[in-house]
Amino acid sequence: MILDRLTPVDGALPGALLTEVTELYAANRQFFALSGDFPDPDDIRIGQVATELARDLRHPDTEVLLARGEGRLTGIAITLAHHPDPADPDPWIGLLMVAPQRQGYGRRLAQLVEDRFRADGRKAVKLAVLQNNPRAMAFWSALGYLVIGQREDRRRNRPCAILRKEL
């Protein structure tokens, strides 16, 4: 698996790439049905994905990382080097999504993201899991993440478990 940083070209994202990312999002319909991030999880459109990615990329500490394997897009990770709370020293994984073939892509992508943070000298990483997503909770727990608290997410006030892993 190869991990590349998504970088806009002349302020825009290439159409072919947006198509690939939209297909990946659409393949994860169950997550978007739980999250409510898109109005209709059965009809996720390129323009909606472009808007979400542009919003994420506006934040200077955010990286959008694309995972490729076997000649295709296999996953995406959106990370935040510094949480908006200045008292929080840890980087965050805001989204980690993979093609749903159950071939270990999620585990491998999570390891690559952790390796990036470790190489930057970071000591731990955090993330939030929606309370209504037991599959995500099981995935992150199996990777060694521990629940350290509960709170609502900053964007949509959804109840979440906050998880942390020492690197």
Across 92-119, average pLDDT = 94
Structure confidence at residue 7 (pLDDT)? 86
Report the CATH number at residue 31: 3.40.630.30
Structure confidence at residue 139 (pLDDT)? 96
Which has the closest alpha carbon to 5: 74, 62, 55, 81?
Answer: 62
CA distances from 157 to 24, 35, 46, 135, 154 (A): 25, 11, 25, 20, 6
Computed over every residue of the chain, the mean pLDDT equals 93
- The CA dihedral of 23, 134, 95, 160, to the nearest 10 degrees, is 140
Across 159-165, average pLDDT = 97
Structure confidence at residue 156 (pLDDT)? 79
Structure confidence at residue 13 (pLDDT)? 83
Structure confidence at residue 95 (pLDDT)? 96
What is the span of the domain harbouring residue 110? Answer: 2-166
Q: How confident is the model at residue 129 (pLDDT cuts 50, 70, 90)?
A: very high
Instruction: Name the pTM for this structure.
Output: 0.93
Which has the closest alpha carbon to 23: 77, 86, 75, 96?
Answer: 75
- With pLDDT > 70 as the criterion, what percentage of the chain qualifies? 100
Residue 108, classed as helix, strand or coil, is helix
Residue pLDDT, tens place only, 26-67:
999 999 999 989 999 999 999 999 999 999 998 889 999 999
Across 69-98, average pLDDT = 92
Q: How confident is the model at residue 102 (pLDDT cuts 50, 70, 90)?
A: confident
How many domains is the chain built from?
A: 1
